[in-house]
Amino acid sequence: MTQIVETETRISPSRPDGLSGFASDWASDQRTFKNVSWGKAMMWIFLLSDTFVFGCFLLAYMSARMSTTVPWPNPSEVFALNIGGTEVPLILIAIMTFVLISSSGTMAMAVNFGYRRDRRKTALLMLLTAFFGATFVGMQAFEWTKLISEGVRPWGNPWGAPQFGSTFFMITGFHGTHVTIGVIFLLIIARKVWRGDFDTEKRGFFTSRKGHYEIVEITGLYWHFVDLVWVFIFAFFYLW
């Protein structure tokens, strides 16, 4: 018996030329974001936009510092702590940096155990990450309180250029807000992981799919971004 195999030729729609084609390409999730969840894609887009914001803040700080005719306060003196009668420069900032960088390690391990479906270790590591983040925010609050008590204001300070106070409070405050939001989300997701919401498909925020631990990775993306931004703030604001 002769079998006749009919082949159907499918002609894919042509891609428009010029700017319309560019917009059409980027508007299609089957091309630009193929095999990437919308949650992860939106987080990357948010982080990209946030990079521009922090970049503008740091550029404004550098422009103000290089253009002022009044001497800029010495960070080693401004951020020194008196320990046992000795002024130790940048000791608090060094501890804050160590704590925040360490939290990136615990977050990375949480993501690893999340994809292994080890919910207890995942939750504990996320809680540890949140503890590090809260410790960082607490130390930053102590730093702010110390500087305010010494006379630092957004419009002036006792040591030099008045722009120092405004740029310091703007940049560190904006970053501290990001860390605080990250800690809140870490606690929320850790609680859901600990209860097994991702395993039982319990309906709620971020738990619409069974075994869907990708939200842990998405939270980790945000947290690593916050840590990376602090590295630039530490280098440009405290070491320069």
Closest to 127 in 3D by CA, of 189, 75, 176: 189
Q: Which two tokens stand for residue 195?
A: 């209860």
Give the model confidence (pLDDT) of 156-194 as tens digits: 888 989 999 999 999 999 999 999 999 999 999 999 899
What percentage of the chain carries pLDDT values higher than 90?
Answer: 60
Locus of tokens 């008590």: 149
Rounded Cα distance between 118 and 101, Å, is 24
Rounded Cα distance between 129 and 101, Å, is 10
CA–CA distance from 76 to each of 8, 59, 72, 146, 203 (Å)? Answer: 74, 22, 12, 15, 51
Give the model confidence (pLDDT) of 85-114 as tens digits: 888 999 999 999 999 999 999 999 999 999
Q: Which pLDDT band holds residue 214 (cuts at 50, 70, 90)?
A: confident
Give the model confidence (pLDDT) of 21-44 as tens digits: 666 665 554 455 566 777 888 899
Query: Taking the model in full, what pTM does it have?
Result: 0.82
| Packed helices 91-115 and 119-149: angle between N→C axes, nearest 10 degrees | 160
